[in-house]
Structure 1
Amino acid sequence: MASLELRNVHKRYGSGLPDTLKNIDLKIESGEFLILVGPSGCGKSTLMNCIAGLEDITGGEILVEGSDISGMSPKDRDIAMVFQSYALYPTMNVRDNIAFGLKMRKVPQEKIDEEVARVAKLLQIEHLLTRKPSQLSGGQQQRVAMGRALARRPKIYLFDEPLSNLDAKLRVEMRTEIKLMHQRLKTTTVYVTHDQIEAMTLGDKVAVMKDGIVQQFGTPQQIYNDPANLFVASFIGSPPMNFIPLRVQRQGGQWLAILDSGQARCELPLTVADDAALEGRDVILGVRPEQIVVGKGDVGLPAVRAEVDVIEPTGPDTLVFVSLNDTKVCCRMAPDLAPQVGESLTLQFDPAKVLLFDAQSGERLGAQPAERPRNVAQFKGR
């Protein structure tokens, strides 16, 4: 196990071209599980390759246990990588695929046999050791690829979108296997994915990336409850956060936000950390579907009535869609409480959960540089 720190890492592929990675600063402690998440082309796989040594960085430092490994070759970094494509040797059986890295390091055969047996038992592939990769399912091949990395007992594991080639059911099963494996081994792990469900369920820490920049770094709950900007708020969460354009007006020293469903409207007094934050701005209100109270759950909360446009049963939940400020808004409800299309509902907003964003920059309004408060915007009932 080892700590991993990236200091001002940037990567450029050619003179005069823009940086692919821009001033990346991240640190995880020994034994932590870091998720690099973001859309395709955001730079997460490039960053992974730089950590592994498969690509050189243009500037900055990559530190393992405080020592700079930026100039080391991949074989000297003591880092094992599991690729998206598995990269198994088709002519070798499972046993030899797992043992290959150990043989290249001239590990004694007795030790190799011991490690192969340990890894096969850990991943429950003991019955597959004599098979070739072509005789294995996608999930079995993924286990073998993981086993080859585990057999080395490296300081750090790197996973590059390892589940993206699997079907939905198998992805869920393998996600659980990877989490259980990390809980048993406690090896420092960096995991690249574009799947925000994987990011939320697997990671101790999550770095959300876009355009080669880390948009936010923190625990899954911090990123979910306290997103730094519109991009993070929209990327993390399923179904995604609702974004409602607001008409705000100042009245008697108080900012008011107007929500209009077409059949009713309400004026919601806003409280922000900086009273001038709303001056001259187009504002977007962010609220997650499960944070909208359907029905009169609290007489102290402001409410607006709206007509149900669409319902989507998902099994454990039913998603209910209405229109507010000419914008589709999703509410999450228990199936037995779900309304019918055309029915009128009362919607209330939890003051502690509502967020405000600048419509132009996408940044949170009222967030402080050192610590972004969870209660950026508060609605006060009338």
Structure 2
Amino acid sequence: MATLELRNVNKTYGSGLPDTLKDIQLKIAEGEFLILVGPSGCGKSTLMNCIAGLENISGGAILVDDADISQMSPKDRDIAMVFQSYALYPTMTVRQNIEFGLKIRKVPKAQIDQEVERVAKLLQIEHLLARKPGQLSGGQQQRVAMGRALARRPKIYLFDEPLSNLDAKLRVEMRTEMKLMHQRLKTTTVYVTHDQIEAMTLGDKVAVMKDGIIQQFGTPKEIYSEPANLFVASFIGSPPMNFIPVKPAGGRGRWHVPLATDLGQLSLPLAAGDADLDQRELILGLRPEQLALAAEGDSAVLQARVEVTEPTGPDTLIFVTINGTKVCCRLAPDLAPAVGEMLKLSFDAGKALLFDAKTGERLARESKTPAEGSAGNVAQFRGR
């Protein structure tokens, strides 16, 4: 196991061109599983290649166990990488593919045989050792590529979108296997993906990237519950967070945001402390599960008409229009009304988020509890 730290890492491909990576700062502990997630072109694969030594950085430093490896060649970094394309040798058997890197390093034959048997058992590919890659399914080839990396016992594993070529069912199965494998090996791992579900389910830590910049770094729970900005909030979560344009009204710590449909209106209370929210253009962020069918006694209730329903099996997604914006609610299938029906929605305002409409930044929450006598659960915010 090893620690990995990136200090102010930059990458540019030439004078006058924009930086592909901009001041990247990350630190992960021994045995942690780090996910680099973001849309295509955000720089995550470039960052992975820089860690592996396949590309040189333009500035900053990459440290493994506090030792600077920025100028080391890939073979000296003690890092194993699994590529999206698997990169197996087609004329070699599975056994020969797994052995290849060990033979290059002149590992004794007895130790090579022991390593092959170990990883084959770990990945359940013992029965495939005599086959060639062309005789394997996509999932089997992916296991072999992983086995070749595992046989090296490196300090750090790098995975560059290893599941993207698999079908949806196999991707879910392999995701579970990778998590179990990491729990057994406890090797420091960096994993690149554009799939936010992979990011949330696999990682101990997640770094969300956009345009070569890390937008937020934290645990999956922190990224989901307290996104730093509109981009992170929209990218993480399926279905994505609802964004409702609002203009707060009130004052002196008693702020509220008006919400309206064609069937009614609601003033959702915000405990904003001394924040100056008057007439600011803000975005109210609510996850689909934070809107529910109103129960008897709920204080924050809004009537709306169902416009679209999307059954997913365990849930039914209901779409309504609030403040002129399509809003998604996640309901239990047996409670979901039909298209055209009226429903009463309650809001979990204690988990509501506010974003500045101009900068996209999230307003920080107040740490104090609502004042005594305030109505129901209220969202608490302070200005920046």
In 2, Cα distance between equivalents of 1:138 and 1:363: 41
3-state SS in 1 of match to 2:177: helix
5 Å matches for 1:336-351?
Answer: 336-351=334-349
3-state SS in 2 of match to 1:85: coil
In 2, Cα distance between equivalents of 1:139 and 1:273: 54
Given that 1:295 and 1:346 are in contact with CA atoms closer than 8 Å, whether structure 2 keeps it comes out as yes
Q: Pick which of 135-144 and 328-337 moved more.
A: 328-337
- Matched to 2:244, the amino acid is I
3-state SS in 2 of match to 1:117: helix
1:274 to 1:82, Cα distance in 2 relative to 1, 3 A: farther
Unaligned runs of 5+ in 1: none
TM-score normalized by structure 1?
A: 0.94
In 1, Cα distance between equivalents of 2:368 and 2:361: 14
The match for 1:76 is 76
1:375 to 1:329, Cα distance in 2 relative to 1, 3 A: farther
In 2, Cα distance between equivalents of 1:300 and 1:145: 54
5 Å matches for 1:1-382?
Answer: 1-250=1-250, 254-272=254-272, 274-276=274-276, 278-296=277-295, 299-366=297-364, 380-381=375-376
Shift of 1:348: 1.2
1:264 to 1:38, Cα distance in 2 relative to 1, 3 A: same
Shift of 1:375: 9.0
- What is the RMSD of the two structures over their aligned residues, measured on CA atoms? 1.8
Shift of 1:337: 1.0
Given that 2:253 and 2:272 are in contact with CA atoms closer than 8 Å, whether structure 1 keeps it comes out as no
Given that 2:247 and 2:280 are in contact with CA atoms closer than 8 Å, whether structure 1 keeps it comes out as no
Given that 2:253 and 2:273 are in contact with CA atoms closer than 8 Å, whether structure 1 keeps it comes out as no
1:165 to 1:273, Cα distance in 2 relative to 1, 3 A: farther
Unaligned runs of 5+ in 2: 379-384
1:151 to 1:281, Cα distance in 2 relative to 1, 3 A: same
Shift of 1:335: 0.8
- Matched to 1:352, the amino acid is G
Q: Deviations over 1:217-272 (max 9, x none)?
A: 00000100111111101100001111111133336773331100111001223222
The match for 2:382 is none
TM-score normalized by structure 2?
A: 0.94
Q: Deviations over 1:129-158 (max 9, x none)?
A: 010100000000000000000000000000
In 2, Cα distance between equivalents of 1:48 and 1:274: 44
- Matched to 2:2, the amino acid is A
- Matched to 1:188, the amino acid is T
Shift of 1:29: 0.4
3-state SS in 2 of match to 1:352: helix
- Matched to 1:329, the amino acid is V
1:123 to 1:105, Cα distance in 2 relative to 1, 3 A: same
In 1, Cα distance between equivalents of 2:68 and 2:273: 41
Given that 1:310 and 1:320 are in contact with CA atoms closer than 8 Å, whether structure 2 keeps it comes out as yes
The alignment-based identity, stated in percent, is 73
Q: Deviations over 1:249-301 (max 9, x none)?
A: 3367733311001110012232225512x24521110000111121226x353
The match for 2:381 is none
Q: Pick which of 267-276 and 122-131 moved more.
A: 267-276
Q: Deviations over 1:173-201 (max 9, x none)?
A: 11011101000000000000000000000
Shift of 1:374: 11
In 2, Cα distance between equivalents of 1:239 and 1:67: 42
Given that 2:35 and 2:191 are in contact with CA atoms closer than 8 Å, whether structure 1 keeps it comes out as yes
Q: Pick which of 118-127 and 259-268 moved more.
A: 259-268
- Matched to 1:350, the amino acid is D
Q: Pick which of 262-271 and 2-11 moved more.
A: 262-271
Q: Deviations over 1:67-125 (max 9, x none)?
A: 11001000000000000000000010000000100000010111111100100000000
Given that 2:268 and 2:349 are in contact with CA atoms closer than 8 Å, whether structure 1 keeps it comes out as no
In 1, Cα distance between equivalents of 2:351 and 2:264: 23
In 2, Cα distance between equivalents of 1:374 and 1:201: 31
Given that 1:355 and 1:375 are in contact with CA atoms closer than 8 Å, whether structure 2 keeps it comes out as no
- Matched to 1:105, the amino acid is R
